[in-house]
Amino acid sequence: MNDTLKIKSIVEAFSMQPQILQISESKDNFWKPEEAIKGIRLEYLSYSNDEYPEPYYVGYNFDGKKLFQYLAKSVNVHYL
């Protein structure tokens, strides 16, 4: 996979009305600026009884706070 690709958005894959989570340029035009998404990263999360960590897409706001995490195989990813 090309390391220069950046995630633009993710979309729930198994929903009749999927939520679209898109990266924002700034938090200035948001009604709730703390909910503006600055970045989405692929992370591997492991729980106490897991032998292998699972890949998740994790979204962060402009203050570095985690906003959401989706199992990687449950979303479609759009790149820049």
Banded model confidence at residue 73, pLDDT cuts 50, 70, 90? very high
| Distant-in-sequence, close-in-space partners of 12: CB < 8 Å, separation ≥ 6 | 18, 19, 70, 74, 75
Q: Where are the domains of the chain?
A: 7-79
Mean pLDDT of the chain: 90
Handedness of CA 1, 6, 12, 54 (dihedral sign): positive
Contacts 24+ apart (CB under 8 A), 36-44: 36/61, 36/62, 37/61, 37/67, 38/62, 39/7, 40/7, 40/9, 40/10, 41/7, 42/7, 42/72, 43/69
Average pLDDT estimate for 64-73: 96
Each residue of 1-35: pLDDT tens digit? 456 789 999 999 999 999 999 999 999 888 888 99
In the three-class reduction of DSSP (H, G, I as helix; E, B as strand; rest coil), residue 3 is classed as: coil
